[in-house]
Structure 1
């Protein structure tokens, strides 16, 4: 009986220490909902000791920016280039289309305030149901703070009513993932 009492006492002590630690950790940090431009991020932030910590990659993606992670120095560098896209049908600028019609157009993009080197660019269009078509993708070697990029003509059928997203992507290195740095919407009615 004495051995059993000691085991129960030890077990209760361990559980109370663990439980107390878990309750203290939960009380020391608070969850934070993060909303960027009206959309809530999948992962929220937390407040620990009066400081707010946010999921960097999700915040950067929501802001259409680039993030470079330097693991050696434990440093994240965020770059937000200005990207202006203009859609041309022949020499006419457009933004709205008639549903069911096929249009031939190209995308002209002006990029400035670029603070990092770029290894590739991509322009795509995504229909209201999420199907993406790449308009043009190209490896480049750009290390200046501004450049212009114009796609070849594309013939595209706007078969559904709704919003079509034209997106401009950059890669900082060939091994990086594509990062959306600009989006323009075309309304099809």
Structure 2
């Protein structure tokens, strides 16, 4: 229902910073590949990989045929830290203002009812969502219909087609490796 959650931009920026440090470390040695693991579980937004780091590192080592030296880094919950980005700060301010207006609106309608028969309407239980550039209210009853309660996420998978994405990484002037997400394919080109 929502396209972004608070903190997702900060988490991605923390990951980019850490990956830049890992890249500097890898560039000190020729033909080294790092596999980076992030948290994300079933969400597929930050963690798009469906393999474990140990499994990927093993596949790179086995299938690479000595072409490169694979290493792995597990970042764990590191993306939960960090200073909020300007984007997350702006979203927080927008969401806070809109939520306060929502609460005030429904409080006024409740106070207008007789004290002994006050009853909040079903639409007063809602979740604020970011859809495109707009903030929209989604009633909880509607949200539950579109949620994957088992995996604690929305029913619509953002980045669900990432398994079809091809990725190429240049390993130097003479050696190149091609890795396809749908299945591993190593080639020296």
By relative contact order (CA 8 Å, sep 6+), the higher-ranking structure is 2
> What TM-score, normalized by structure 2, do the two folds share?
0.21
Bigger strand fraction: 1
Bigger helix fraction: 2
Which protein shows a greater Rg?
1
